[in-house]
Structure formats: structure tokens, C-alpha cells
Chains A and B, each alone.
Chain A
Amino acid sequence: MTTDIHSANWVNPNHPTPAGKPPATQVGVVGWLRANLFSGVGNSILTLVTLGVVYFVLTGLVRWLLGAYWEPVWANRKLFAVGPYPTDQLRQPAAVLLVVCALFGVSAGRWGSIIRSLAIGLGALLSVLAILPIGMQAQLLMGVAVALLVIGYLVGLKVPIATRWLMLAWLASLVFTAIVLRGGIELPRLGIAWSFAPLVDPGLYGGLMLTMILAIVGITLSFPLGVMLALGRRSTMPVIKYFSIIYIEVVRGVPLITILFLAMAMLPLFLPSGWSSPPGLVRVLTAITLFSAAYLAENVRGGLQALPNGQYEAAEALGLRHWDKLRFIILPQALTKVIPALVGQFIGLFKDTSLASLVGLLELVGIGKAVIQQPEWMGVPGGAAKEVYIFVAFVFFIFNFGLSFASRKLETKLGVGKR
């Protein structure tokens, strides 16, 4: 401890300068602006030009939104929701909504993560609809649906329901939906005819309800078929392998609209002459299922390929037979891996249901086209087209953005794409 500079124990006699604050241009708002917006001459010019463009676009958009004629959308809100469903039987779609909300809440409580984010989004949407003045009965329905969602969530948290019962409940809900919306069951070939209300022709299902039915039933029915095709494609038996390959490549190589027209025109041709012609809804569902199964097969195949070979080998070393190996080891892991891709596929299918409007079904886009043609709006300058299509696009956007947001959160949780 000397002040001799050449000593090994030299101590600096001067007081050290106190640590200063970082320069104001490096931290806080100014620092962020410098780093992200104005980091160089070119970048600054780009920022200013972009700001100018954004300002013009935004003000124009807001001005148009406030001044647009929203009456065609508001007056037809029932059509957009359930289509031309008989107005005096709206209790039936309402019952379906309540059951689905309750089941969704229970699933959110049991499974958590992505389902819970979706349930929160759904709850927010229903609450907004409960507050908007869309009509007392509809608002009451939305309020009860939110309540059921929350109750279901609490039940799901507390009661340990096994996954298989919940899956069975969902499948049962599909059958429940089909029966309740129809008003009963009518299968003339099998001689069953039972109804609790006047039977509703499936051609009267429409609006957002029909879009949901098409998408959900489509992906549910295509799931088993898609998994079988994926397994078949990886099979060592050449007949099954080539059949799967041909099916997948043919269906993926043609546009959905081709398959829709194929189903609409040819399904009655393929059924025996005695059978009655299936309703348009059934034909479109067939087309959507067949189409979606091919894409699902490719997604599942990706998951199967990502599974390390060691899993297959270990399962065989344990002596598991073929179907047990699939059921216990392979499929649980592979399907968990492809959940983000499956959500993406559901989003795509949800958007693709809009093509059903081109074959005569009145789902959301079809109702939009019909609303534009209504005589009340013929005198409106510029027509009702812009407002109606922006509204339809907005509805799709809410659902798809919510789904893709939840999927991205799931991917972050799974650590996909990190360093």
C-alpha cells in the first residue's frame, strides 16, 4: 500500500470519479428513436417518408370508416350470424352455442395453454357482443354464453376429467349439433324419423354458423383419414404406399374449387340410383373433408418424420406390436409436434369455407353477396359492396388472427425457431 508507482502494491491516491449517468441520447425514448427509427441518413429519410404515407393512409381510412354506410350490415345481422334459419326456431342454434361454450370452458380448464388463450379470446368476443345493442335476446344469450364459459373453466380446473371423456364429449357435441340444428333425425333409407321441432332443411343453415360447421366438421372428419393416409404413405407395403401417394398428390395438386364442383355435380351420380340426392351441405362437407385430409396427411407425415428413429426401434425392442406401437409411442409424440401446423391448417380451412359460396351455399361470404343484391341498397352511391366485404373480412380476421396468435404463443412455449 504505497504511492510509489513502481511498487507491486501501488494504490491510486486520487479519488475515483463518480459513475456518471449514460448520455441522454442513448437511453430512454430518445435512445430508442435513434436506434430504431433514425439510425442513419437513409434510415431517417425512410422513416420520414413512411410516416407521411402512413399518415395519409390512416386519415383516409378513418375518415372512410366513420363516413361509410353501415346500415346494410347492421340491418342484416341475423343473416350474417345464422343465415336464413327460421326466425322462430332460433332457440336451436342458441342451445348449440351454449353447449359448445360450456364444453370449451371445461376443455380450457383441463388442457390449458392454447385452449385457454382461445377461450379467453372467445369470452372477450362474446362479452363485446353482449354489450353491443344487437337486441335484448341476443345480448342475453351472449351473456349466458360467457357465464357458461367461465363456469366450465372453473369446473375444468377443479374436477379431474380424463381426456378420453372430454374427447368423447366433443364428438357427442358434434352429433348433438347436427340433431338440434335439424330439429330431429330423418334418415329415410333407415326408416328413422323423429323430431322435436319442425325439421329445418339444411339449405337454410347459413352465415357464421355455417362457416363454423363447415370448418369444424371438416377438420374433425378429415383427421382420421389424414392420419391413415400419412401412415399409409410411410408404409412398407407398396400397394398401400402408392395408393396414399397418388391420393395425396392428386388432391393437393388441384384447387379446392375443382373438388367442390366435382362433389356438387358428381356425388349424386356416384350414389346408387335409388338413393335420394344428398343436400348441398353434405356434398360440400364431403369435398372439404377429402381435400383437408390430403393436407393433414402431409402435416402429420412431417411429424412422423421428425420423430427420431430410436423411438421406433425402442418400441420394437420392447416387443410392442404394430398398432400398439402407433397408439402408445409414435402417434402421441408425432401429433403433439404438429399442433402448430394443424392450427395453421385449420386457419386455412376456415378461410377456404368461403369458396362454398361459389357452389350456392349461404355461408358468410354467400350472405354478403346476397345482402349486396338486396333491393334496399340499390340506390346507395357506390353500392353496399365495400362495407359488406370489409365487415366479412373483419369477422374472418378476428377469428384467424386470434387462432394464429394463440398458435404463435404455443410455438414460443415449445421453443420452435430459437437459437
Chain B
Amino acid sequence: MATSTHPNARPPFYRDTQVIAILMQAFFLILVVAAGWFLYTNMTTNLAAINNASGGRLSWSFLGQTAGFEISEGPAFRPEQSYWRAYMVGLANTLRVSVAGVILATLLGVSTGIARVSNNWLLSKIALTYVEVIRSTPLLVQLLFWYFGVIATLPAVKEAAEWPGLAFLSNRGIFITWPFLTESGAPWFWWLVGGAVAGAVVAWLRRRHLVHQGLPGGGLILGVATFFLVAIVGFFVAFSAARLPDTIAYELKRGDRGTLFADADGDGKYKPEIDRALPYVPITLLDAGGQPLATETTDGDGAFRFFEAPAGGTSLTWTTPPPVFLSEPERQGFNFRGGLSLTPEFVALLLGLVVYTGAFIAEIVRAGINAVPKGQWEASRAVGLGTADTLRIIVLPQALRVIIPPLTSQYLNLVKNSSLAIAIGYPDLFYVGRVIVNQSGAEVQMILVVMATYLSFSLITSLFMNWYNRRVMIIER
């Protein structure tokens, strides 16, 4: 009618799709803002009714207040420090269990996934049973089983189960023989970091050179060799230049125990905020006549206690420690000294997360290997490659494209699932957040902080995954 005589005329606004789209979006926006405003005003009035002081506004000053509670493990934390520092300790604990969990779960998952596609019937059926049982059971039940059913039923310290020279298992934790970096080893750590950087740079340069020349191969071997070279050189340099600090001093109490530390203010007393404790230093206790009574090594906190010596020591001498000290746990009274000590909560959480996530990673690896067309297997067999070589050279590189995106999601799931630590008392960031809420009453603020933390983990993972997907995606027309 009227529009057909003008080819470019627009229909009336109530039938014009562009106008309708804009109107609908405006309507939707108004709806969302109205709902948000409704919820917000409700929240502020209700909050004002509860805490009259703040008048309903969200204040963030509680973060600087004294915490007043202890955290059972993680970086050193004292109750006088602030809520914010407590939250940071919780975050460190989450990262600790997440990194260990990701590494172990990947190892377990990849081997189980390969076992699933193996042609050994027994192995593949066992892997199938493991995956099916673990994936069908909730993680919370598995965690509670590991903690209350397994770890809590380990023997007491007095009768702790022992792997000779390696570890002790008891219901107060697992204690493992572990190498630690000592005072003279600390500079070596920086040499290792430098070596890693140098190795990466050398590998990249070599690869660029080879690509430029059109030759095959990569820079991996050269990079690794560079890293080891720098590490060994650094070891000897650090060892020969190793010196204990000049301000070294000690506190000796009751003739057989005390602390070895670097006295920053020269007053001879150990103050944790100013002075630095010296761990893993070999020391000798001398009596009044200068005769050596016993030798020991300071433990991880710089403290020492001579259990076997008579309590008659008056002075102490020390020697420069080697860069790496292999610390073995020893039973001392109701606990173990030395070695790496893992609390029952950490072990239960780690076990639960690794076993659970490993099953999902196994399925992802299996799906990835199965996604490679059968023709690839047949062609590589025709060329004469065996199973292991086929997997390594042909199948796994192609499978990686299918495996990596869901694998990074599973890593993210592991980090999110570590929040279940609240069920067994491991002080991760969610648990510490709840304690902060209980003590300070700042419910809304802490929920926002906790959600923001997990969201940033998830954002970092998505960014990585998008970058990886763009790099390897097959461009279709």
C-alpha cells in the first residue's frame, strides 16, 4: 500500500524490528534496574534494622580489625594480625592444595585414561570401575569418608605406621622425609629461577633459529641443558660463598632448648616481627668447660631442643649448613619433629580432590584419544610404529586439541571444589571467610570478596582457554 510505492520507506514504528528491539531492551533494562533497586533497598533496610550503627551502608573497615582467632596451618599467622591477613593465609592454603591437587590429579588422570584405552582387558576394566564408582559418588561423601573413615583411624603417634626412612603415618598427620633449602641454599633458589628463565630464552631463540632455517626440531633439549648448567654452576657458587649472617645470635633456655636467629636489633632476644630465625643450621651444645655435649640441627622455625643431652649446656657453636638439607621426621614425645608435616585435613582434602578429579580427567583423556580418527592408528600401524610410539608421536598431539579445554575446566573445578574444605576443617579461603563473617558480622562484604576471588580464578582460566583455542582451532570456511 503506502510503503510499496517508496522502496526504502520504513514500516511504521510498531512493526519496525529495529525500533522494537530498542524498545524491548529499554524495557528489559528498566525491569532489571527496578528489580535490583527493590532488592537493594530491602537489603539496606533489613541490615539497618540489624546493625543500627552503620545505617545499612556497607563498610569495609572491618578488614583492618584484629582477627582474634588462630589458623591451624599455612603461612605463619598470629591472632593479633588483621582479618585481611587471615584471608590471605586462607588464600595461600587454597593455592597450596590446588597446585598439589592439579599436579597429582593430572598424573593420575592421564595414566588412568591411557589405561582405559589400553588393549589389556584387565587394566582397562579396573580403570573403568574406578572411574565409574568415583564419578557416581558426591565429592563431599568421598571427602568425609577419607577424613573420618581413613585418616582419623590411623594409629596414634606412639604406634605410627612407618615407611622406613620415608614417612610416618599417624592420626596427627603424615610426616615425610623432605629436602629443604637452608640459609646457604637460599641464593641457590634464585640461581634456579634465573636458570629457568635463561633456559626458556635459549629454547625460544633456538626454535626461532631452526624455524628460520626451515629445519625440524625444537629448542627443548638446549633449554633444559642450559637450565641444568646454570643450576650446577649456581650450586657451587652459592655453596662456596655461603655465610651465615653476621648478626647471628641465640637464646638458650633451661640448658637444652632455644632459638637460633639473626638479631636485627642486637638485643639478644628473639622477637618474631624483627628478628629472622635461622633454620636447618648444624649446631653443637657446649658445656661450661667448652666440651661438646651434643649435636643437633635447628628445625624449620629456627628452634632447637637437645632431647638426649643433660640440661647443662651453656653455649652453642654452629657451622655453615650445606645448601640442601634432607630432613627426616623423628618421634619426639607426642609429635614428630623434622621432615615435611602434612596435617590430616590437608591429606584428606588432597586425597579426595585428586581421586575425584583424576576420574574426570581420565574420561577427558579417553574422549580425546578416541576423538582422533581411527585412520590415524591404522596408518601408523601400517608404517610400523608400535602402540607406545603411536600414542606419543601421532595420537596424543592431535588429542591434545580436544583434551585441553575440558581439562582446564576440570582444573577450575578442582579449585572450586577445594571450598569443601569447610566440611573437614581445613582453613582454606572459604572456611576463613566464614570465620571472619561469624566474628565480624560483615556477611555481605565477605560474600562479595569470596565470590570475587573465585571469579578471578575462573577469569584467568577462561582467558588461557580462549587463547589456547584460538591458537589451535581449525579454521573452517
Contacts and interface: CB of A to CB of B under 8 A. Distances in A.
A167 interface: no
A351 B140 CA distance: 9
A362 to B, nearest CB: 14
A271 B45 CA distance: 10
Given A258-B447, A389-B141, A43 B24 contact: no
A332 interface: no
A33 B21 CA distance: 67
A271 B46 CA distance: 9
Nearest to A43: B120
Contacts of B430: 255, 257-258
A35 B121 CA distance: 9
Given A46-B120, A239-B29, A404-B136, A365 B144 contact: yes
Interface stretch (A12-20, A47-55, A194-202): A47-55
Given A268-B46, A396-B137, A397-B133, A238 B25 contact: yes
Contacts of A255: 416-417, 419-420, 430, 454
B85 to A, nearest CB: 22
Interface residues of A, number: 60
* Candidate in A51, A269, A271 with the most chain B CB atoms within 10 angstroms: A269
Interface in A237-293: 237-240, 243, 249-250, 252-255, 257-258, 261-262, 265-266, 268-273
The dominant DSSP class at the B interface is helix
Contacts of B132: 401, 404
A183 to B, nearest CB: 30
Interface string A366-378: 0011001000000
Contacts of A239: 25, 28-29
Nearest to B45: A273
Contact of A389 (B45, B135, B144, B419): B144
Contacts of B142: 393
Contacts of B136: 347, 351, 396-397, 400-401, 404
Interface string A382-401: 11011001101100110011
B432 to A, nearest CB: 14
Interface stretch (A3-11, A218-226, A353-361): A353-361
B374 interface: yes
A271 B120 contact: no
Interface residues of B, number: 57
Contact of A351 (B137, B450, B459): B137
Interface string B120-139: 11110010000011011111
B141 A365 contact: yes
A257 B137 contact: no
Nearest to A356: B140
Given A261-B447, A385-B149, 13 more contacts: A36-B122, A50-B120, A249-B458, A252-B458, A269-B43, A273-B46, A383-B153, A389-B149, A396-B138, A400-B137, A404-B136, A417-B370, A419-B373
Interface of B: 21, 24-25, 28-29, 32, 39, 42-43, 45-47, 49, 119-123, 126, 132-133, 135-142, 144-145, 148-149, 152-153, 370, 373-374, 416-417, 419-420, 422-423, 430, 434, 443-444, 447, 450-451, 454-455, 457-459, 462
